[in-house]
Amino acid sequence: MVDEKQLLLNRLKTVEGHVRGVQRMVESDTYCIDIIKQTQAIQRALDKFNSMILTNHLNTCVTTAIRGEQPEERERVIAELMQVFEATNRLQVPTE
């Protein structure tokens, strides 16, 4: 069975390969829409990577903090999660 860390590393290697492919596409003046399709695929792969990391974090660090005896630690992990979600929402807001 492949462990979680190896799955994450494999996904990053795949993303890295796609980024190199996009670099080659730019160098060879590939049609813009084809490049955009590839960068969108890279973004989806990174989104999946982030989802895997977050799931692991929720199942380990956050669960431990919430079940623990230290209210400061619970507040800290909740604040961290809120910061991540707020940053994500800022990235998704279209600018005019």
What's 61's domain CATH number? 1.20.58.1000
Instruction: Please tell me the total count of domains within the chain.
Output: 1
Q: Residue 11 belongs to what domain range? A: 4-92
45-92 residue pLDDT tens:
999 999 999 999 999 999 999 999 999 999 999 999 999 888 888 876
Under 8 Å between Cβ of 45 and 15: yes
28-39 residue pLDDT tens:
999 999 999 999
Encode burial over 23-53: b for 16+ CB neighbours within 10 A, e otherwise. Answer: eebeeeeeeeeeeeebeeebeebeeebeeee
